[in-house]
């Protein structure tokens, strides 16, 4: 693929994020997108690794690789760099962001992925936050998922809120027979994402469908905690994400 084609792919992701925020205005989202467009340095794989296609412009630069299927053949190490099943990833220590272009996504979900990973990059390179240990990682993910929940709720409006409340009811009904204490104990229960196609469009890949389910499951869990837990809600949501992360890793 030519360098020009890689820049064209990047432009489509940026356009998708702009269109998303036009429908779901959000000050933090705008700040993240501005950071992203200013500091991303487009890269491509080579026989020796990864090479940037442009010069860095700011001290807050990060390397952005739109990961194509052929790229994994050129740089096999990228397969182990991208978490199994992940659609996108930012690594603070290397300043490398991967957006998995080898899979297909709706424009709306491209925006969600870009803004989610963009928030991680901004927190590292502007706010100088480097999570140290699993709990710190979980706190950062909790905050970023809270941001994502807000974005998707704005974008999806009443139809998304209907889906969210439906899944909350399903979770509580299922777990009530197991002495589950809402907001205290954590219980991973697969969500039914029926109706999400009407918000984002028909999912063009299983990777996007799985990413939607993970987001919805997190949103259900966080909402239940916010409604039923009487202590520090933020810390309890952090513990919830940490539990989910540990449970997920055991089942990879």
**156 and 237 assigned to the same domain:** yes
**100 and 140 assigned to the same domain:** no
Please give the tally of structural domains in the chain. 2
**155 and 230 assigned to the same domain:** yes
- Tens of pLDDT, residue by residue over 181-228, are 878 877 767 788 889 999 999 999 998 998 999 899 999 999 999 999
Please check whether residue 121 lies inside any domain of the structure.
no
**231 and 163 assigned to the same domain:** yes
Checking if the pLDDT of 5 tops 80, the result is: yes
Q: Which two tokens stand for residue 52?
A: 């940037």
Bridge partner residues of 42 (DSSP): 64
- At which of 83, 104, 125 does a domain end? 104
Please check whether residue 96 lies inside any domain of the structure.
yes
pLDDT at 252: 34
pLDDT at 175: 81
pLDDT tier at 248, thresholds 50, 70, 90: low
**185 and 235 assigned to the same domain:** yes
Please check whether residue 177 lies inside any domain of the structure.
yes
- Tens of pLDDT, residue by residue over 76-135, are 777 665 555 578 999 999 999 999 888 899 999 999 999 999 999 999 999 999 888 889
Checking if the pLDDT of 139 tops 90, the result is: yes
**91 and 169 assigned to the same domain:** no
**52 and 12 assigned to the same domain:** yes
**240 and 174 assigned to the same domain:** yes
- At which of 84, 104, 124 does a domain end? 104
- Predicted TM-score of the model (pTM): 0.92
Please check whether residue 112 lies inside any domain of the structure.
no
Region for 183 from its dihedrals, namely left if φ exceeds 0, alpha if ψ lies in -120 to 50, beta otherwise: left
Q: Which domain, by its residues, includes 98?
A: 3-104
Q: In three state form, how does the secondary structure of the chain look? A: CCHHHHHHHHHHHHHHHHHHHHHCCCHHHHHHHHHHHHHEEEEEEECCEEEECCCCCCCCCEEEEECCHHHHHHCCHHHHHCCCCCCEEEECCCCEEEECCCCCCCHHHHHHHHHHHHHHHHHHHCCCCCCCCHHHHHHHHHHHHHHHHHHHHHHHHHHHHHHHHHHHHHHHHHHHHHCCCCCCCCCCCCCCCCCCHHHHCCCCCHHHHHHHHHHHHHHHHHHHHHHHCCCCHHHHHHHHHHHHHHHHHHCC
**40 and 97 assigned to the same domain:** yes
**241 and 191 assigned to the same domain:** yes
């Amino acid at each position: 693929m030519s360098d020009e084609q890689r820049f064209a792919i990047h432009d489509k992701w940026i356009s998708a994020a702009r269109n998303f925020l036009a429908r779901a205005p959000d000050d933090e989202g705008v700040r993240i997108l501005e950071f992203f467009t200013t500091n991303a340095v487009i890269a491509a794989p080579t026989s020796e690794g990864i090479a940037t296609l442009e010069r860095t412009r700011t001290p807050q630069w990060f390397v952005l690789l739109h990961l194509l299927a052929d790229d994994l053949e050129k740089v096999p190490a990228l397969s182990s760099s991208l978490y199994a099943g992940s659609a996108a990833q930012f690594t603070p220590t290397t300043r490398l962001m991967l957006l998995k272009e080898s899979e297909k996504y709706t424009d709306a979900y491209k925006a969600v992925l870009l803004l989610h990973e963009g928030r991680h990059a901004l927190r590292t390179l502007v706010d100088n936050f480097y999570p140290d240990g699993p709990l710190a990682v979980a706190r950062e993910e909790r905050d970023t998922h809270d941001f994502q929940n807000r974005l998707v709720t704005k974008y999806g409006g009443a139809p998304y809120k209907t889906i969210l409340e439906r899944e909350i009811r399903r979770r509580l009904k299922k777990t009530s027979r197991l002495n589950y204490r809402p907001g205290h104990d954590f219980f991973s229960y697969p969500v039914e994402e029926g109706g999400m196609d009407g918000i984002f469009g028909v999912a063009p890949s299983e990777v996007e469908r799985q990413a939607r389910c993970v987001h919805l499951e997190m949103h259900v869990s966080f909402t239940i905690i916010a409604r039923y837990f009487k202590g520090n809600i933020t810390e309890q949501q952090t513990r919830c994400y940490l539990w989910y992360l540990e449970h997920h890793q055991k089942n990879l």
